[in-house]
Structure 1
């Protein structure tokens, strides 16, 4: 099969590789849409030790099952696999399982390929009325759905009803959509890239600004750099909540003194639970998350250039979807 293989820092090539073998309680999925995630970019830039070369990246995917009892079924893939028996799994917080694995991390190859094998429990049926390009957004949307849910659970409504999302990429946009779908309407996105900010405003109907001097009851950092953490610390109102999704860099930025004196809650959040994933899929399917028409579609063969364009900051759309079967 054809695959886009990460071979080293800023090096991707199309290769012919062996089709994966189907194991017990698994299905072979013909991938028809696979999104480029920020974590794929981190690997591409050599910033992610969890994803060493050579490796097939990609974990935001949807396609059609080939063979087996689910043959022909249109599905979106929950790429996160947990042990199912540890304390975290028993508590319904499978995203914290110490044995968790995700496709695109060894030993599991990713979805920038024509086929992927996945556990049947991780395949969610997609209605015929929903395109597989939209269904492939389930994974990043679930990350943001989970983050919005945690932030809203910690939110004191008496102290304000506005939210700020730092970063207008796919996770940031998805966080804004998730907040609104879960009941908080006053959401602003900060995005420094002019082209992307214009896209968020004109194409996505979001309130997007280059920066903000106001304070907000909930601040979601969808970037995760020291500078964005410092910005989040300053922009969160007293008694507010900072939700941190981004994994840009490890250290720096938080104003811990101000957070202590103003009783600001900080929540680090990773991935999603299976219930979050199912709830997100339901919201995609019933239209609660909007038209989801903010992707740019390219062939898998154009993958190396897509990564280079993202690296250069020349892509306005929050998400590029690669299609492995396009010429």
Structure 2
């Protein structure tokens, strides 16, 4: 089969690789759409020791089961595999499982390929009326859905109902959509890139600005750099909540003194629970998250150029979807 293989820092190649081997309880999925994630970019830039070359990246995918009793069933993939028996799993917080694995991280190859083997409980059936290109957005949308749920659970709604999302990429836009779907209407996205900000306004119908202003009850940092954490610290209102999704860099930025004196809650969040993933899929399927028409489609063979364009900041669309068969 064909696959886009990460071969070294800023080096990708389309290669012929062996078909995945099926284990008990798994299905073979013929991938039709696979999104490029920020974590894929981190690996591409050599910033993720957990993803050493050579490796097939990609974990935001949808396709069709090929073979077996469910042959022909359209599915989207929850790429997180957990143990199912630890304290976190039994508590329904599978994203905190110490044994969790995700495709695109050794020993599991990723979904920038024509086929992926995935255990059946990680496959969500996609209704016929939903294009698989939209179903492939379930993973990044679930990251933001989970983050928003945690933030709203911790938020004192009596202190305000406004939200600031820092970063207008796929996770930031998804957070804005999830906030609105979960009841917060006053949402602003801070996005400094002129082309992306214009896209958010004109194509996605979002209230997007170059930099955040004012005070907000909930601030979601979908970037995760020291500079964006500093903005979050400044723009969160007293008693408010900062939800930190981004993994841009490890240290710096938080005004811990202000957060302490003003009783600002900080929540770090990673991925999603199985229930959050299912809830996100339901919101995609019933249209609660909008038309989801803000992706750019490219062929898998154009993958190296797509990564280079993202690296150069030359892509306005929040998400590029690769087609392994185009």
The TM-score, its normalising length taken from structure 2, stands at 1.00
| 1:58 and 2:69 matched | no
| 1:106 and 2:102 matched | no
| 1:193 and 2:210 matched | no
Unaligned stretches of 5+ in structure 1?
none
Unaligned stretches of 5+ in structure 2?
none
Cα deviation 1:227-254 (Å, max 9, x = unaligned): 0001100000000000000000001100
Residue 213 (structure 1) shift = 2.3
* Contact 2:32 2:63 (C-alpha < 8 Å) held by counterparts: yes
| 1:219 and 2:223 matched | no
> Corresponding residue for 1:293?
293
Secondary structure of the structure 2 residue equivalent to 1:151? helix
The whole-number CA distance in structure 2 between the counterparts of 1:212 and 1:72 is 47
Residue 21 (structure 1) shift = 1.1
> Corresponding residue for 2:239?
239
Secondary structure of the structure 1 residue equivalent to 2:180? helix
Residue 212 (structure 1) shift = 2.2
* Contact 2:164 2:212 (C-alpha < 8 Å) held by counterparts: no
The whole-number CA distance in structure 1 between the counterparts of 2:101 and 2:45 is 22
Task: Write out the 4+ residue segments of structure 1 that deviate beyond 3 Å after TM superposition.
Answer: none
The whole-number CA distance in structure 1 between the counterparts of 2:105 and 2:22 is 18
The whole-number CA distance in structure 2 between the counterparts of 1:121 and 1:221 is 31
Residue 83 (structure 1) shift = 0.3
The total of aligned residue pairs comes to 326
The equivalences for 1:130-141 within 5 A come to 130-141=130-141
Secondary structure of the structure 1 residue equivalent to 2:284? helix
The whole-number CA distance in structure 1 between the counterparts of 2:211 and 2:252 is 20
> Corresponding residue for 1:39?
39
Residue 69 (structure 1) shift = 1.2
The equivalences for 1:68-147 within 5 A come to 68-147=68-147
Secondary structure of the structure 2 residue equivalent to 1:313? coil
Cα deviation 1:199-241 (Å, max 9, x = unaligned): 0000000000001221100000000000000110000000000
> Corresponding residue for 2:325?
325
Cα deviation 1:132-162 (Å, max 9, x = unaligned): 0000000000000000000000111111110
> Corresponding residue for 1:28?
28
Cα deviation 1:144-181 (Å, max 9, x = unaligned): 00000000001111111100000000000000000100
Secondary structure of the structure 2 residue equivalent to 1:176? helix
| 1:150 and 2:150 matched | yes
Secondary structure of the structure 2 residue equivalent to 1:15? strand
> Corresponding residue for 2:249?
249
The whole-number CA distance in structure 1 between the counterparts of 2:135 and 2:81 is 19
* Contact 2:74 2:127 (C-alpha < 8 Å) held by counterparts: yes
Q: CA RMSD in A?
A: 0.4
The whole-number CA distance in structure 1 between the counterparts of 2:158 and 2:28 is 50
Residue 118 (structure 1) shift = 0.1
Residue 313 (structure 1) shift = 0.2
> Corresponding residue for 1:9?
9
* Contact 2:189 2:212 (C-alpha < 8 Å) held by counterparts: no
Secondary structure of the structure 2 residue equivalent to 1:322? strand
Cα deviation 1:103-126 (Å, max 9, x = unaligned): 000000000000000000000000
> Corresponding residue for 1:312?
312
